[in-house]
Amino acid sequence: MKKYYWLMTVLLILGLALSACGSNEPINNQNVMVEEPEANAEESMPEPMEEEPAVYELSALDEAYAIFLADMEKYNTIGLEALNTAMAEAPPFILDVRAASEAEEKGHIEGSILIPLRELAQNLAYLPSFDTPIVSYCGSGWRCTIASTALEAMGWEDVTCLKGGSFGGWVEAGYAVVEGLQPEAEILNAVEADLAMVAYWDEVLMAIPDGYGGITAEALNTEIAENADLIVIDARRADEVATKGFIDAANWMQIPLESFIELKADWPADLDAPIVINCGSGHRSTQAMTIMMSYGYTNVRSLKSGFGGWAAGGFPTAYDAPDLTGAIDIFLDDMEGYNTIGLDALNAALAEEPPFLLDVRAASEAEEKGHIPGAILIPLRDLAKNLAYLPSFDTSIVTYCGSGWRCTIASVALEALGWEDVKCLKGSSFGGWAAAGYEVAEGVPAEGELLNAAKPYGGMVELWDETLTNVPDGYGGITADALNTTLAENADLILIDVRKDSELTDNGVIEAENWMHIPLEAFADSIEEWPADKDAPIVVYCGSGHRSTLAMTILWSYGYTNVTSLKGGFGGWASEGFPVLEYVAMP
């Protein structure tokens, strides 16, 4: 293309010179002052002036990309079925950016024209007007992403790339294919493109490396280990990073594609720095890679298959630390009736506005004893692995188990994960439900429907999966007899009373050397009062065992390893005649 422009310049100069030789008139006689030569001055011909080629300003590139990113729909992609439908109704202009050898061997989509990617800027005369819809395709969807990004930057307003495996997917889906190479395209000359811009993009596209800038997960994993200077840029949205995590790399940074130009100041300063960009599947990162290449970055690549492929391959991922304290604080502030529901209330709700019913027992229990009609079954330790089966965050959920212990643990986890209205069935939970004569369906509940209705923060999911998976046998319960023995034998045992002040004054407290009072309502606000040693033996108690199990679960989630909750609470302890002290409030 550059040769073409220099050839035109030379021809223009020659044409002007010939015109001057063939006429006694001046070449340009409009407002031109012509100096008469001084007498006896030696005649000389002026040196020919070589016109400098126009320079493409990067500010124009900024503006073009800002428009491109603001106008994106579905990241400028079109699916196989959608293209097939469009071809029958309102055919777009179809651009094949593969090599000619590929088209000759594998065929092409009917009506398409062929311009190999690296030659695109040299052949813009074959393209339609700026406002004509264009669909670009290639072998797998990679090159057409680069092409569509380049064309949008050059002024075309509606360029999409064929996804679903591009031409390979088109063939596999059984859509019509024409054998061999496309016929020669028609020269349209439909646009007047900025020549400096065209020359600039010709240089960018011609410099695209072999492999078109793609890097596999395996290769990236090796580079992260071997190259401390490697920069990994995540082009996904914040919500995607939060829910799914990110690539564990020392020099990781997030620049969402939607804000890529707006955040250009955050780009690496060194144009030669080694950079790999990732997104979810590889499309957005290839758009971002193309953008950075056009600004002069020389060593930028895009991760094939994106973060999805990286995570599926088992390569290292990470999350920002979740705000567990904030989540627990909200949970405790919003509690009503300590987030419980009674048997009669649930039965009435099922007849009027049924909540989502979650059974957290083992499958063997449900198989033996039946279940509440309409429930789905997710055993407690598997709960965080199966959140996709749960409804939206604002849907009312009622959890139940055998006696009310496990559903209490589950309710804390779900509230911390973002669900807003989770109650646990009390009155001895399913055992009480069956004993009261309410409806019971036989066997295990039917398999739940995959809803994907909520997207909890991935770091929180990881934290709670670890917490719930490691719930001990017995689910952290300790009997009054066992506690009495432990108090006598273990001087290091810490007893935490989570009841209200009034309950302590009215009923007394359990006699223990290492006794402390942290009301459940203030539990998250009193972290500095918690035992410093996370391996310390701790027993939490309340009035009946429910609040202490909430507190025990909270402590587990913070990494405490040896926490139990008193079954039957203070009421059970006192009724069995174990030592009780009168509580005297501090003045």
Between the alpha carbon of residue 71 and those of residues 29, 74, 260, 262, 581, the distances in Å are 49, 10, 14, 14, 71
Question: Which pLDDT value is given to residue 2?
Answer: 35
pLDDT tens-place string over residues 535-582: 999 999 999 999 999 999 999 999 999 999 999 999 999 999 999 999
pLDDT tens-place string over residues 501-531: 999 999 999 999 999 999 999 999 999 999 9
CA distance 324 to 448: 28
How many other C-beta atoms can be found within 10 angstroms of the C-beta atom of residue 264?
A: 15
Between the alpha carbon of residue 8 and those of residues 21, 46, 48, the distances in Å are 20, 22, 16
Angle between helices 283-294 and 195-206 (to 10 degrees): 120
pLDDT tens-place string over residues 377-422: 999 999 999 999 999 999 999 999 999 999 999 999 999 999 999 9
Between 63 and 24, whose confidence is greater? Answer: 63
- Among the residue ranges 19-23, 294-298, 341-345, 482-486, the one predicted with the least confidence is 19-23
Would you place residue 50 in the very low, low, confident or very high pLDDT band (cuts 50, 70, 90)?
Answer: low
Question: Which pLDDT value is given to residue 584?
Answer: 83
Would you place residue 12 in the very low, low, confident or very high pLDDT band (cuts 50, 70, 90)?
Answer: very low
Question: Which pLDDT value is given to residue 290?
Answer: 98
Question: Which pLDDT value is given to residue 58?
Answer: 86
Q: What is the DSSP string of 379-418?
A: -GGGGGGGGGGS--TTS-EEEE-SSSHHHHHHHHHHHHHT
pLDDT tens-place string over residues 157-193: 999 999 999 999 999 999 999 999 999 999 999 999 8
> Domains of the chain, with CATH numbers?
58-200 (3.40.250.10), 211-318 (3.40.250.10), 324-471 (3.40.250.10), 474-581 (3.40.250.10)
Q: Token pair of 38, please?
A: 């001084």
Question: Which pLDDT value is given to residue 57?
Answer: 86
Average pLDDT value for residue range 10-36:
32
pLDDT tens-place string over residues 216-229: 999 999 999 999 99
pLDDT tens-place string over residues 138-164: 999 999 999 999 999 999 999 999 999
Question: Which pLDDT value is given to residue 585?
Answer: 76
